[in-house]
């Protein structure tokens, strides 16, 4: 999947996952936010691939945790304008 497609897929997925922030997510355009959208999509794709394989419950759990952590970063990046400046 191309980078811009991955970003937009991650954006849409996060908008569904975090409905209270949907409008802000859809309007986001900061580079850090876009990178987080892409990272989220990649993490979800990896998790979904692992879910389809037997005996990977530990890896699926770790992938779920990664997805959750990225969600928390997205929330901070959108709610706190200074968060983007601190992470650069």
Note down the domain range covering 68: 3-86
Q: Which two tokens stand for residue 44?
A: 């979800």
DSSP state of 19: G
Tens of pLDDT along 34-80?
999 999 999 999 999 988 888 778 898 999 999 999 999 999 999 88
Q: What is the pLDDT of residue 19?
A: 96
Total domains present in the chain: 1
**Tell me, what's the pLDDT at 86?**
56
Contact in structure between 16 and 33 (CB atoms under 8 Å): no
The whole-angstrom separation of Cα 46 and Cα 35 is 17
């Amino acid at each position: 999947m191309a980078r811009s497609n991955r970003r937009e897929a991650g954006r849409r997925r996060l908008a569904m996952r975090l409905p209270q922030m949907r409008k802000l997510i859809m309007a986001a355009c900061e580079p850090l936010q876009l990178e987080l959208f892409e990272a989220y999509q990649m993490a979800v794709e990896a998790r979904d691939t692992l879910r389809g394989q037997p005996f990977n419950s530990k890896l699926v759990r770790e992938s779920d945790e990664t997805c959750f952590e990225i969600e928390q970063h997205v929330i901070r990046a959108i709610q706190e304008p200074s968060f983007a400046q601190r992470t650069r």
